[in-house]
Amino acid sequence: MSEKVIDFEVPIHTLASQYPDFVDIMYSIGFTKIKVPGMINTVGKIINLKKGSKAMGIPLDKIAQAFEERGYELKNYDK
């Protein structure tokens, strides 16, 4: 089984299609618009977690923590 890796520089659309729990985790941190139909397929292709953090005013470490707690490894996360 391959490892679960969250890359902070990969478009979130990619992550969402890779990991079934990605959207729910994001929603729980405060990215509530991620569940609006049509967002993942549009905005999701443009932004990665770094940009998303800045756009939504949600700190990177909060994102990092949420994914670590669920057994993800972090990539391109430099705090």
Partner 1 sequence: MTNKTLSSVQRQKKIVEILNFLHEGGDFDEAKKMFDDSFSSVDVSEITSAERELIASGLNPMEIQNLCNVHAAVFKGSITGNESTPAFEKPGHPVATMKLENVVLSSLINDELLPCLKKWQQDGDNDQYLARMQKALKDLMTIDKHYTRKENSIFPLMDKYGITAPPKVMWGVDDEIRGWIKDAYDMVMADPVPDKYEVEAAIEKACKETMEMIFKEEEIMIPMLDEVATPEDWYMVEQDEKDMGYTLIPDPLPWKPTNKEIAEGKKKKNPEIANELNKMAQGLADSEGLKAKDTKKKSSKKHIPIVDVTPSLHEDDEPVADSDAADSSEKKMSAHERIRRRSQHEKTGLEMPTDEINVRFDSGRLNLDELTAIFKVLPVDLTFVDATDHVKWFSNSPDRVFPRTKAVIGRAVVNCHPPKSVDKVLEILKEFHDGTSDSNEFWINLHGEKYVYIRYYALRDDDGEYLGCLEVTQDVQHIRDLEGEKRLL
* Residue ranges in contact with partner 1 by CB under 8 A: 33, 36-39, 41-43, 45-47, 51, 54-57
Q: Provide the minimum distance between the beta carbon of 42 and partner 1 in the complex, in angstroms, as a whole number.
A: 5
Q: Is 65 left (phi over 0), alpha (psi -120 to 50) or beta?
A: alpha
Q: Which is nearer to partner 1, 11 or 74 (CB)?
A: 11
State in angstroms the smallest separation of the CB of 3 from partner 1.
28
Query: Could you give the CA distance from residue 78 to residue 44 in angstroms, rounded to a whole number?
Result: 21
Closest CA to 61 of 32, 35, 33, 29: 29
Residue 37 beta carbon to partner 1: minimum distance, rounded to whole angstroms: 6
